[in-house]
Chains A and B, each alone.
Chain A
Amino acid sequence: MSIDLSQFHQVFFEESFEGLDIMESSLLALDLAEVDAETINTIFRAAHSIKGGAGTFGFMQISGFTHVLETLLDQIRSGERDIEQVHVDMFLECVDCLRGLMGDLQAGTEPDMTQADDLKAKFEAILSGNPEAGSAENTAENSSAEEVSAGVQKSDSASLSGSDEDGWKIEFIPCEDVLCTGNEPYRMFRELQDLAEAEGNGSIEVIPHLDELPEFSKMHPEMCYLSWTIIVRSGIELSDIEEIFEWVVDDCEITYKRLADCDLSVLENHHRQEGSSENIEAETVISNVVESEAVESAVVESADDDNSVNDSDALESAESNKLPENAPETHAAAVNEKIEKALEKVAPKAAPSAAKKPAENTSIRVSIDKIDGLINMVGELVITQSMLGQLGQEFDVSRIQRLQEGLQQLEQNTRELQESVMKIRMLPISFAFSRFPRLVRDLSKQLDKEVDLVMLGENTELDKTVMEKIGDPLVHLVRNSLDHGLEGVKERTDNGKTSAGTITLNAYHHGGNIVIEVQDDGAGLNKDRIRSKAVEKGLIAEDEHLTDGQIYDLIFQPGFSTADVVSDVSGRGVGMDVVRRNIAELNGSIDVSSTPGKGSIFSIRLPLTLAILDGQLVKVGDEVYIFPLVSIVESIQLEKSMLNNITGSQFVMQLRDDYVPIVCLQDIFNIDAEKKDLEGAMLVVVEGDNEKIGIVVDELLGQQQVVIKSLEQNYQKVDSISGATILGDGTVALIVDISGLNNHSSDKNSDEQTQAA
């Protein structure tokens, strides 16, 4: 029978990636001056599990590679070798390499083993470079070889050939406590018999020796006092027999001899004894001053636990020279049939998944508490439902109060249920933070800076999807802080700062948002340089007056980079604008504040989830639209003095120092409604992609949380609309995509301008 092991691959990959994360964080936590044994153990265990799993599931590349890693770790663990920085660096390289290999395997592509082979060679060099280490491995191998030879004590004659009778004589003297390790001699006899019979005409004879049986009063029921001579008449290989006794060979005396070289008198004696009735047996026993019945009962007593060795069975079967009919075989056949049936069921499912490229199905680990909370909530919902159901069946007006109460309860249940379902998708931000210790370590080495990383609020929870998408922007910010923010050691000490800079990652909840801060205690943003760079790039006019905030904001402009030297780490000029765009896609925002000489803080503000949005409901004509609350700057009533007309049809409004273009939703969405005079109209100023626009609406309705439904999935993509939701009265309201609207309005402007020209 065969089982399709690929069904376990996904779980294997997941736990391996987890194991690699553990290895990585443990390696980073390792203090070489004072090595914690448990940390080493944890690292070893992770590597060991990956190797074991990889071997079992057929990823030989992985298990072969992990083996050398494990060997070195084992030496460190057992104190044979001190761990050195170079080891840690190599282990970390291995973690990366394994991640890559696993990623390839998971995606169903053949992994590139070049790096792995290089690393493997390096490890082997370390392992063989140390003579102690080399011998350690050899001794391991030798000792197992010795185990075999010592235990087996192959008789010299084993090598002699030319026996008339094929077979083996085995002397088996078990240690007294063999039963206490769960090893039943009977099992071994049974296996021997199976083996012998599998060879055709083979058979075995088991002859018990009772000589060591003590007086009844001295007999311990859990001890095994018997020993056996086993005659195997079959052409089986010694190695097969040895395998049967593999588990007991170390604490039992076992000798093997070829039948041809043996004196078979024991056997003849035994046959004689058998032939001359039970008296002889009784005699042997009586010589121990015990009646045979007593022996039997003693033996039976020793075996009264049905899981212990049934010595009496062994005795009896040995006497009769015949083992019970081979039940396991028929049994095995039945089992095989069952498995085949089970496989048939599995096969059709497995086949198509193997045929197409395995899509990465991600899973999420949820704590039992959350699930319990959810189940509890559902229970309450069911109670409410049955109460309302009953009320509905026998409803009259007098019960209206109860109906209202029930509905209130339903509302509460629904809300709680919604919250707990949302919570399931929430993961602590430590998932996103976990990569930074490594990143900071490697980068600071590369840049020759000293950096302490502080992480705060690691348990702050965030939606899984948001978490996945915020990873890259965060990496960018941290790299940036390390590269541009923090000064070199010399510059720091010259300025009276500690030689090691600090980067702080902090996450906390604020209102319905999560705020993630990346803070450094470096030199701070250089306003003059940003300004001159911006002028140089034509982003601002030379004499333009900007506040500090506006200057800092320039770094988020596309193509902006002040790095004098384009380094490996950052400063390629793509970056901060991408960071801002990524965050905007998550309905979030990013700000920077900076103090010269003290450092900078980048704050990212994100909604807790992508499924729910805090929205402002507005009315245009008969339609209701929703603006994301985060993008609203302010709502004002237009006054004539604010209005300007620049290109004929395009109105702009002066809002303090800014000129804000004004758009009418009814124009953009072609709504049939009476066009109102702009003067006195209600205007919502929104900001998206760093651009403000004023949107004319008829009426501001309430603010509420709305559940976002994808329009793309349910209908098709619509410009300037990011999604839809269903309002309390059952009507559909569209959610306005502010950045999309922005582009739309600027496109329209340029169109009109070209037409005018």
Chain B
Amino acid sequence: MATILAVDDSASMRQMVTFTLKGAGYDVQEACDGSEALKIAKTKKFDLVLSDVNMPVMDGIELVTELRQLGEYKFVPILMLTTESAGDKKMAGKKAGATGWIVKPFNPDQLLNTIKKVLG
């Protein structure tokens, strides 16, 4: 089953995302900020990265930029979790190389539908 790296500084969001995706059979690993995610991503290749934007230490935009510079992550779908009010963040994310975004607040079904579409 596809592997997913879920990055969010909020423990409740991480739990919700992980529970939802694991329930759907995906193999999920968590990271609580960009730099931790980057470290994990370097040790193992994931099929999809799902990242929050606003995080301490290293935010989601920086994470995408860094990931896209790694050979293995050039084409991997990276989805950002953003709020609808952050239009400029969406753009910044796209510019950095994010594949798309999921708008918060989302429910588990919406999350799962999007992931399914991207991973096929």
Which of B13, B25, B100 is the most central at the interface, judged by chain A CB atoms within 10 Å of its CB?
B13
* Pair A52/B116 contact, Cβ less than 8 Å: no
In-complex Cβ contact of B100 among A71, A179, A247, A327 (8 A): A247
In-complex Cβ contact of A45 among B11, B54, B88, B109 (8 A): B54
Q: A52-B105, A307-B47 are in contact. Are A181 and B120 (CB under 8 A)?
A: no
Q: A52-B83, A183-B100, A335-B24 are in contact. Are A2 and B109 (CB under 8 A)?
A: yes
Q: Closest residue to A341 on the B side, CB-wise?
A: B23
In the bound complex, CA of A63 to CA of B108 (Å): 18
* Pair B120/A5 contact, Cβ less than 8 Å: no
* Pair B75/A12 contact, Cβ less than 8 Å: no
Does residue A182 face the partner (Cβ distance < 8 Å to B)?
Answer: yes
B44: chain A residues within 8 A (beta carbon): none
In the bound complex, CA of A5 to CA of B105 (Å): 13
B99: chain A residues within 8 A (beta carbon): 181-183, 247
A44: chain B residues within 8 A (beta carbon): 54
B54: chain A residues within 8 A (beta carbon): 44-45, 48-49
**How many residue pairs bridge A and B at CB < 8 Å?**
127
* Pair B76/A11 contact, Cβ less than 8 Å: no
A53: chain B residues within 8 A (beta carbon): 10, 12-13
Does residue A452 face the partner (Cβ distance < 8 Å to B)?
Answer: no
Does residue B85 face the partner (Cβ distance < 8 Å to A)?
Answer: yes
* Pair B12/A15 contact, Cβ less than 8 Å: yes
In the bound complex, CA of A20 to CA of B45 (Å): 36
In-complex Cβ contact of B105 among A7, A63, A140, A144 (8 A): A63
In the bound complex, CA of A368 to CA of B87 (Å): 38
Encode B99-120 as 1/0 by CB contact (under 8 A) with A.
1110011111100100011101
A45: chain B residues within 8 A (beta carbon): 9, 54-56
In-complex Cβ contact of B23 among A222, A332, A339 (8 A): A339
Q: Closest residue to A327 on the B side, CB-wise?
A: B120
A470 CB to nearest B CB, Å? 28
In-complex Cβ contact of A143 among B13, B87, B98, B107 (8 A): B87
The A interface, classified by DSSP as helix, strand, loop or mixed, is: helix
In-complex Cβ contact of A338 among B24, B87, B97 (8 A): B24
In-complex Cβ contact of B104 among A55, A182, A307 (8 A): A55
A358 CB to nearest B CB, Å? 15
CB-CB contacts below 8 Å: A180-204 with B:
180-183, 187, 190-191
Q: A8-B15, A222-B74 are in contact. Are A181 and B94 (CB under 8 A)?
A: yes
In-complex Cβ contact of B75 among A14, A74, A179 (8 A): A179
* Pair A140/B85 contact, Cβ less than 8 Å: yes
* Pair A180/B116 contact, Cβ less than 8 Å: no
Does residue A595 face the partner (Cβ distance < 8 Å to B)?
Answer: no
In the bound complex, CA of A179 to CA of B75 (Å): 6
Does residue A719 face the partner (Cβ distance < 8 Å to B)?
Answer: no
* Pair A70/B85 contact, Cβ less than 8 Å: yes
Encode B12-47 as 1/0 by CB contact (under 8 A) with A.
110110011001110000000000000000000001
* Pair A309/B105 contact, Cβ less than 8 Å: no
* Pair A182/B16 contact, Cβ less than 8 Å: no
Does residue A411 face the partner (Cβ distance < 8 Å to B)?
Answer: no
A312: chain B residues within 8 A (beta carbon): none
A26 CB to nearest B CB, Å? 12
Q: Closest residue to B78 on the A side, CB-wise?
A: A182
A526 CB to nearest B CB, Å? 49
A183: chain B residues within 8 A (beta carbon): 77, 99-100
Q: Closest residue to A13 on the B side, CB-wise?
A: B12
Does residue B70 face the partner (Cβ distance < 8 Å to A)?
Answer: no
Q: Closest residue to A222 on the B side, CB-wise?
A: B74
* Pair A187/B117 contact, Cβ less than 8 Å: yes
* Pair A8/B16 contact, Cβ less than 8 Å: yes
In-complex Cβ contact of A328 among B12, B20, B91, B116 (8 A): B116
B120: chain A residues within 8 A (beta carbon): 187, 190, 327-328
Does residue A442 face the partner (Cβ distance < 8 Å to B)?
Answer: no
Q: A181-B99, A247-B99, A328-B120 are in contact. Are A3 and B10 (CB under 8 A)?
A: no
Does residue A1 face the partner (Cβ distance < 8 Å to B)?
Answer: yes
Does residue A57 face the partner (Cβ distance < 8 Å to B)?
Answer: yes
In the bound complex, CA of A731 to CA of B117 (Å): 68
In-complex Cβ contact of A56 among B16, B24, B47 (8 A): B16
* Pair A56/B100 contact, Cβ less than 8 Å: no
B78: chain A residues within 8 A (beta carbon): 182
Does residue A51 face the partner (Cβ distance < 8 Å to B)?
Answer: yes
B41 CB to nearest A CB, Å? 13
In the bound complex, CA of A328 to CA of B119 (Å): 10
Q: A180-B97, A187-B120, A250-B91 are in contact. Are A3 and B20 (CB under 8 A)?
A: yes
6 A-B residue pairs with Cβ-Cβ distance under 8 Å, sorted by A, are A5-B16, A52-B13, A190-B117, A247-B100, A250-B94, A338-B24
Q: Which 6 A-B pairs have the closest CB atoms?
A: A55-B105, A247-B100, A182-B99, A12-B12, A182-B77, A308-B75
Chain A interface residues (CB < 8 Å from chain B): 1-3, 5, 7-9, 11-12, 14-15, 42, 44-45, 48-49, 51-57, 63, 67, 70-71, 74, 140, 143-144, 179-183, 187, 190-191, 222, 246-247, 250-251, 305, 307-309, 327-328, 332, 335, 338-339, 342-343
Chain B interface residues (CB < 8 Å from chain A): 9-13, 15-16, 19-20, 23-25, 47, 54-56, 68, 74-78, 81, 83, 85, 87-88, 91, 94, 97-101, 104-109, 112, 116-118, 120
